[in-house]
Amino acid sequence: MAPVLNIGNRIMKLYHYTPSGHAHRARLFLSLLGVPHELVEVDLKAGDHKKPEFLALNPFGQVPVLDDDGIVVSDSNAILVYLARKLGRVDWLPEDAQGTAAVQRWLSVAAGEVAYGPAAARLVTVFGSKHNPQEVIARAHGLLKNLEAHLADRDWLVGGAPTIADVALYSYVARAPEGNVDLSGYPGVIAFLRRIEALPGFVPFVETPVGLSAAQGVTAA
C-alpha cells in the first residue's frame, strides 16, 4: 500500500452529520487512509446547515464539507477524489484512462442509482421523507441486482483492489435494510460489504433501528 503523504501539522476538518451516508462516505475514506482529521458535527435537524457560517463553506447547505487548511471541498464524491489525488493514492484512484473511467462510472452510480434507490428508501424511514416507498425500494433492488451480477466474478468494483468506487457505494448499501430493502437475496453484495468492513481503518456507519433493521433487532451504534 502506498504511504500516506505527510501533511505536516495541518488537521483536516470534516463537517458532517452522523446519520448521513454521504458524510460517512467521506469519514470512512479519511479513516481508511489514516489521515488525521477533526470531525465537526453539523446538526441538520437543528438547522445548522442553513446558518450563514456553514453556507459560507457550502452555499448548497449540504454535508459533508472538507476544509483542508482553507481549501474547501464539498460533495462526498468530490472529497473522495480530492483526497486520493491530494495524497497521491493511485491505489485508490487509478491514473490510467480506463481505470479512471471505471471508477467514475461507479461514482455516477453512487450519485444516481444509490441516491435514488437505497438512500432514498432510508430517507423515508429515518427522516420521514415523502418519497414513494414502493418506487424507491424497487429502484434499490434494480441496483442490487446489477451489483450482484457485477460482483459475481470479482471482489471489488474496479480492478483487483478496493478503490474509492467501493467506498462511494458502501454506506447506503450497507444500511439498505433500514429503508426496508432486503439484502438477503444478494450474497455477493453482502460478501462485498464484509470485505470493506475488514479493511484496516474501517469505521462503521451508525445503525438506526427502523425498517427491516428493527425487525432484525438492530440497535443504534
Residue 97 has pLDDT above 70, yes or no: yes
Single-letter amino acid, residue 130: K
| Per-residue confidence band for 6, with pLDDT thresholds at 50, 70 and 90 | very low
Q: What phi-psi label fits residue 47: left (phi over 0), alpha (psi between -120 and 50 degrees) or beta?
A: left
| Per-residue confidence band for 221, with pLDDT thresholds at 50, 70 and 90 | very low
Q: What is the average pLDDT across 78-84? A: 98
Q: What is the pLDDT of residues 55-73, one digit of tens each?
A: 999 999 999 999 999 999 9
Q: What is the pLDDT of residues 157-185, one digit of tens each?
A: 999 999 999 999 999 999 999 999 999 99
Q: What is the pLDDT of residue 4?
A: 37
Contact residues for 78 (Cβ-Cβ < 8 A; gap 6+): none
Mean pLDDT (the chain) is 93
Q: What is the pLDDT of residues 19-51, one digit of tens each?
A: 999 999 999 999 999 999 999 999 988 898 989
Backbone φ and ψ for 36, nearest 5 degrees, come out as -60, 135
Q: What is the pLDDT of residues 197-214, one digit of tens each?
A: 999 999 999 999 999 988
Q: What is the pLDDT of residue 217?
A: 57
Residue 9 has pLDDT above 60, yes or no: no
Q: What is the pLDDT of residue 45?
A: 87
- Which domains, ranges and CATH numbers included, belong to the chain? 12-86 (3.40.30.10), 97-215 (1.20.1050.10)
Q: What is the pLDDT of residue 2?
A: 35
Q: What is the pLDDT of residue 106?
A: 98
